[in-house]
Amino acid sequence: MNAKERMKKSEVSGLPPQALSGGQESGVKKTRLFLLLTLHLSLFTVFYGCSSVFFYPQKELIDNPYLKQVSYEDIFFITSDAVKLHGWHIKAKGKSQGIIVQLHGNAENISTHVNSVLWLASEGYDIFTFDYRGYGRSEGRPSLDGVHRDSRAALETVLKLPDINKERIFILGQSLGGAIAVYTVAASPYKNQIKAVIIDSAFSSYRGIAREKLSQFILTWPLQYPLSFLINDYYSPVKWIKNISPLPILIMHGEQDIIVPIHHGSILYEAALEPKEFWQIEGIGHIQAFALKDIRERFLQYLQAIK
């Protein structure tokens, strides 16, 4: 059985803006309309940008039958700017080997993203997963500043959870969550309480991925550079990943990822300091690594080797 037959999609993600077609005009009026529509689309993409380009929240939690196979509890916590967030603490089966803090991708909510990590509970790991503001049962509206406040609050909440192995805290960021995880750990006063950071299918730069997506559409291609400079690039992981050192960093990326191409993983790996690893995984796309049994087994060995 090849990789494509074994994999399951764990995220619905869509960064690029939608193309916009013009009306039935001709000559100068047609050219003018084309330019106006292009400008309108581009400005909409940028100025409403963080919510429309980087965030696709879903409020409704999907009924997930796999959750019935584990023990979990709802956790509500408050951010530094007084936004109430919701998460789940999924209990390890047997003696806890540590806790995995999942920062999920840009679409849907924890009810779907949790499927990529639920298997870790059977392997003896607690899991803490949460929704950013505006997602699921979390209040507020998503923004770049906001989701970074959310991830810091989540880490602080994990440190207060009873009956977990606080000596082995692992941060797992997937897609957008990978970008958020890098800054969260790099700038965290609790960095020395984290054992390792795992980055799965993350982009290297907010501005860079926006530029790439704008370049894919004829209407926005001419404006990809000027518009991309309007994107907030402060939190871009390529700027912060070196500050994670001396914590171990594992970067995973599918070679067939068309949402966040694998060169983003290469850029992050080059910018990171040792100790670091880069798993370039054949035959899979975006956030599909854990659908492969051999990758799950390799990942468990990686966690167990970290002392």
Whether residue 14 lies inside any domain: the answer is: no
- Cβ–Cβ under 8 Å, residues 130 and 88: yes
Whether residue 11 lies inside any domain: the answer is: no
Which pLDDT does position 217 carry in this prediction? 61
- Cβ–Cβ under 8 Å, residues 283 and 2: yes
The average confidence (pLDDT) of the chain is 84
DSSP state of 10: -
- Which tens digits make up the pLDDT trace of 128-146? 999 999 999 999 999 999 9
Whether residue 256 lies inside any domain: the answer is: yes
- Which tens digits make up the pLDDT trace of 55-76? 889 999 999 999 989 999 999 9
Q: What is the mean pLDDT of residues 83-111?
A: 96
Whether residue 1 lies inside any domain: the answer is: no
Residue 78 pLDDT level (bands cut at 50, 70, 90): very high
Q: What is the mean pLDDT of residues 226-237?
A: 75
Residue 231 pLDDT level (bands cut at 50, 70, 90): confident
Is 216 a residue whose pLDDT tops 90?
no
CATH of residue 62: 3.40.50.1820
- Which tens digits make up the pLDDT trace of 262-286? 999 999 999 999 999 999 999 999 9
CB count within 10 Å of CB 235 equals 20
Domain count, the chain: 1
Whether residue 7 lies inside any domain: the answer is: no
Cα(first)–Cα(last) distance of the chain, in Å?
34
Whether residue 20 lies inside any domain: the answer is: no
Sheet holding 72-78, edge to edge: 72-78, 84-90, 126-130, 99-103, 169-174, 196-200, 249-254, 276-281
Residue 162 pLDDT level (bands cut at 50, 70, 90): very high
Whether residue 283 lies inside any domain: the answer is: yes
